[in-house]
A and B are shown apart, each in its own frame.
Chain A
Amino acid sequence: MYEETGCFDPNSMVEGPDGLSQVLKPPPPPVPLMAGSTTNSHNSFEDNIKLSAEELSYHHCNPHQEVDASAAMDIQLQNQQMAFNTHLMQDSSNQVLAFASSSLADASYTPTADLLNLFHLPRCSASSLLPNSSISFTNPTHTTPLGLVGDLPMTDTASASSILYDPLFHLNLPPQPPLFRELFQSLPSHGYSLSGSRDSSLFGGGGDDHVEGSGGGGLYQDGDGEQQFDNGVLEFTWDMACMGKGRKSGKITKHFATERQRRQHLTDKYQALRDLVPNPTKNDRASVVGDAINYIKELLRNVNELKILVERKRCARERRKRLKTEEDSIGNNVHESSSIMKPLGDPDQSFNNGSLRSSWLQRKSKDTEVDVRIVDDEVTIKLVQRKKINCLLIVSKVLDELQLDLHHVAGGHIGDYYSFLFNTKIYEGSSVYASAIANKLIEVVDRHYASTPSSGCY
């Protein structure tokens, strides 16, 4: 239980716009927990009753509803979560999200503001009096590049966010944080998208200095601090993570209030990195970083290879055009053009020959591993397949499609695996590149495996 503060009157009521507002039993006026979605008027009155019952348990002044709140509360919160999720999906308004979550948070105790306050004014909350909260508002999703993208749209959830995080922080209830995390994870917002979708702005609210309480690690606020609060006093305390963003500078300065938030934030970043890499192996930090290093190298190789190919194609095209025009002009004017033709041809050749194309990459799928190495026009493909499918035919078909000329093949059945090594040459003029080869091979082989479930028969 938390201490009642003098800042608000637990009995005061907030009329949420609709049904998500939780209603306290009379005589105390209904508690405003949801300034939430407008579609929830039907949302069971029962829920409200139950929630209100729970709230009551947190209220000193309503002794007459001794509800075993914690267990019920959790369930209710989860139910609410579900309700929220559906509603949130319906409503794209960020405010709704904010309010929903805030109201969810509020389920544990009653905030006081009236509707006006909820929407515009930051409340002076009990949080100011309570010790460090252990709740960390983690990133709702794994992928958190959000913080890196400085341009979250500034939304009018600034006010919402202020209230959003307000109630939570003095709750040290252990069951809560995961729920909240779940809630946010299930939010359609997935707050972090490079495009800075509207939803993401849930976490991108007010960057004002005094609107600081953007909760736990991983919530970044946009720096357009124009959104002021009318009664700008939001007494977030030192126990809230204040995310003041450098105004439109693209840089984020984070100040974590708790060490735990910082750690969580870091873990989320590692997870984001892990999700970017195609074949993550182990799940520990060092190997994530190692995988990332290798992946960056692979991407650089791919980019270089593609650049060379594009360049070659472009030169070839230009050369063809030039030859064509020269041919045309030859028909008209024999002497002049013939002398021009040769020197023009050469620079293209030399350019092409100067850059040796090389690339290497590996791809793995569940049963198949492919290693493709390209040097100039020679492609070496190594294929290991874990199921007993003789894929020689399939692969040679694919190689024909990809315009690769088989020079050497070696391989066969080894224990539980089929393993092959193909040495091929690229037919002239074809601009197939390493990752295309690898992806196509894996796709075809896996598809073939899927279509012949019984092993070994072919």
Chain B
Amino acid sequence: MEFLGSAMNELCFTQESNRRGRLGRRKVEYDDTREYKSKNLHAERRRRQKLSDRLLALRSMVPIITNMNKATIIEDAITYIQELQQNVKLLSDQLLEMEGSSEEAVQTRSDEINAAEEMKNCGIMEDVQVTNIDRNKLWIKIILEKKRGRFTRLIEAMTYLGLELTDTNVATSKGAMLVSSCVEGSYGDTLTVEQTKDLLLEIIKSI
């Protein structure tokens, strides 16, 4: 019985290994070298499988295929990519050429007018709030009317005056822009709440 059992086991092993193909028809001896070899084989097979899958995917994307062997897949892909690059260049040049005629200047003014009106309608006022968070950090909250390029000017002014924004959050709604940010002094100096608030109010008035 035992004998039979072990024979059956061997059979199963070999069958299994045949299926998996790892050990072939060799006897099942799991000494170290063989196991490493089989692991490596397995890994290698997986690697090959991965490459082959990707090649298949590549082939499926390229419309013009000549032969179906590995080398020509790559070749065709190269040709196709170059063709697409040329297309992109062509189209973008065309677009650039067409840029000449511009008619969009009219649009923006209307946006700005709407913004101011909306703010007034919702009762939002321009505002500045400053509080002290840490020794060196301040937290500011600014509400201002959204105008084209205003945010840039705000940031510019702030950085020139020594306020560095470390974490910023900007949201816009109903024609108003809300800027909340952590501010530190860029030159290492500590800022007081009052100073900063005055500074910011000045800035807002000027931009």
**Complex interface bits, A118-146 against B, C-beta within 8 A gives 1, otherwise 0:** 00000000000000000000000000010
Do the beta carbons of A430 and B104 come within 8 Å of each other? Answer: yes
Q: Which positions 138-175 of chain B face chain A at CB distance < 8 Å?
A: 148-149, 151-152, 155-156, 159, 164-172
Contacts of B94 in A (CB 8 A): 310
| A309–B95 CB distance below 8 A | yes
In the complex, the answer to whether A412 meets B82 with C-beta atoms within 8 Å is no
Q: Are the CB atoms of A303 and B47 closer together than 8 Å?
A: no
**What are 9 A-to-B residue pairs whose CB atoms are below 8 Å?**
A296-B61, A296-B80, A303-B88, A317-B101, A400-B148, A400-B152, A409-B151, A412-B165, A431-B98
- Chain A residues with CB under 8 Å of B164's CB are 390, 458
The yes or no answer to B189 lying at the interface (CB within 8 A) is: no
- Find chain B residues with CB under 8 A from A296 CB: 58, 61-62, 77, 80-81, 84
**Which of under 10, 10 to 19, 20 to 34, or 35 or more describes the interface residues of A?**
35 or more
The stretch of B25-33, B49-57, B196-204 in contact with A is B49-57
A396 to chain B, nearest CB (A): 4
Separation of A300 and B98 alpha carbons in the complex (Å): 22
Give every chain A residue within 8 A of B88 (Cβ-Cβ). Answer: 299, 302-303, 306, 435
**Is A433's CB under 8 angstroms from B92's CB?**
yes
Interface string of A287-331 (1 = CB under 8 A from B): 001101101110110110011011001101100100000000000
Contact bitstring B20-56, A, C-beta under 8 A = 1, else 0 = 0000000000000000000000000001001100110
B70 at the interface (CB under 8 A from A): yes
CB-CB nearest in chain A for B173 = A407
B91-108 to A contact mask, C-beta < 8 Å, 1/0: 110110011011110011
CA distance A458 to B183 in the complex (A): 13
The answer to whether B98 touches A310 (Cβ under 8 A) is yes
A47 at the interface (CB under 8 A from B): no
Min CB–CB distance B143 → chain A (angstroms): 15
Let me know if A72 is at the binding interface, CB within 8 A: no
- A269 touches which one: B58, B78, B152, B166 (CB < 8 A)? B78
With a cutoff of 8 Å between Cβ atoms, the chain A residues found around residue B62 in the complex are: 296
Bound CA–CA A302/B99 (angstroms): 18
How close is B189's CB to chain A, nearest CB, in angstroms?
14
On whether the beta carbons of A148 and B107 are closer than 8 Å, the reply is: no
Question: Which among B51, B101, B151 is the interface contact of A289 at CB below 8 angstroms?
Answer: B51
Sort A-B residue pairs by CB-CB distance and give the 8 closest, nearest first: A429-B104, A412-B167, A306-B91, A409-B170, A299-B84, A289-B54, A396-B152, A269-B74
A295 near B172: Cβ-Cβ < 8 Å? no
Q: Is the CB of A310 within 8 A of B61?
A: no
Query: Does the CB pair B79–A276 fall under 8 Å?
Result: no
Contact A297 B168 (CB under 8 A): no
Query: If the complex has contacts A293-B61, A303-B84, are A148 and B170 also in contact, measured as CB distance less than 8 A?
Result: no
Say how far B13's CB is from chain A's closest CB, in angstroms: 32
A273: CB under 8 A from chain B?
yes
Nearest-neighbour CB distance to chain B for A287, whole angstroms, equals: 9
Nearest CB on A from B113, distance (A)? 15
Determine how close the nearest CB of chain B comes to the CB of A445; give it in whole angstroms.
15
- Check B107–A429 contact: CB distance below 8 A: yes
| A357 at interface, CB cutoff 8 A | no
Is residue A28 contacting chain B, with contact meaning CB distance below 8 A?
no
Q: How far is the CB of B151 from chain A (nearest CB, A)?
A: 6
> In the complex the two chains form, is B102's CB within 8 Å of A429's CB?
yes
Instruction: Give the docked Cα–Cα distance between A429 and B92 (Å).
Output: 16
**For residue A194, which residues in chain B have a CB less than 8 angstroms away from its CB?**
82
Interface residues of A in 180-197 (CB under 8 A from B): 194
CA distance A269 to B69 in the complex (A): 13
Residue of A at shortest CB range from B169?
Answer: A410
B169 cross-chain contacts in A, Cβ below 8 A = 409-410
- Seen from chain A, the residues whose Cβ lies within 8 Å of a Cβ on chain B are 145, 147-149, 194, 251, 265-266, 269-270, 272-273, 276-277, 285-286, 289-290, 292-293, 295-297, 299-300, 302-303, 306-307, 309-310, 313-314, 316-317, 320, 390, 392-393, 396-397, 399-400, 403, 405-413, 427-431, 433, 435-436, 457-458
Does B114 interact with chain A (Cβ within 8 Å)? no
Q: Whose C-beta in chain A lies nearest to the C-beta of B66?
A: A251
Residue of A whose beta carbon sits closest to that of B55: A289
Interface of A is mostly: helix
B127 on interface, CB distance cutoff 8 Å:
no
Nearest chain A CB to B90 CB, angstrom units: 9
Q: Do the beta carbons of B171 and A292 come within 8 Å of each other? A: no
CB pair B70–A266 under 8 Å, yes or no, is yes
Residue of A nearest to B165 (CB): A392
B84, A300: Cβ atoms under 8 Å?
A: yes
Given the interface pairs A292-B81, A410-B170, A428-B104, the reply to whether A286 lies near B47 with Cβ below 8 Å is yes
Complex contact A427–B168 (CB within 8 A) = no
Inter-subunit contact A295/B81 (CB<8 Å): yes
- On chain B, the residues within 8 Å of A399 by CB distance are 152
Q: A393-B155, A396-B152, A428-B104 are in contact. Are A313 and B98 (CB under 8 A)?
A: yes
Q: What A residues does B74 contact at CB under 8 A?
A: 266, 269-270, 272-273, 289
- CB-based contact A269/B71 at 8 Å: yes
CA distance A172 to B71 in the complex (A): 27
Determine whether the beta carbon of B57 is less than 8 Å from that of A293: yes
User: Looking across the interface, which residue of chain A has its beta carbon closest to that of B171?
Assistant: A408
> Is there contact, CB below 8 Å, between B75 and A406?
no
Known contacts A286-B51, A289-B54, A273 near B79 by CB under 8 Å: no
Residues of A within 8 A of B54 (CB): 286, 289-290, 293
Q: Does B182 contact A (CB under 8 A)?
A: yes
Known A-B contacts A145-B82, A289-B54; A307 and B91 likewise in contact (beta carbons under 8 Å): yes
Chain B residue numbers with a CB within 8 Å of A147 are 75
C-alpha spacing A411/B151, complex, angstroms: 15
Q: Distance (Å) between the CB of B163 and the closest chain A CB?
A: 11
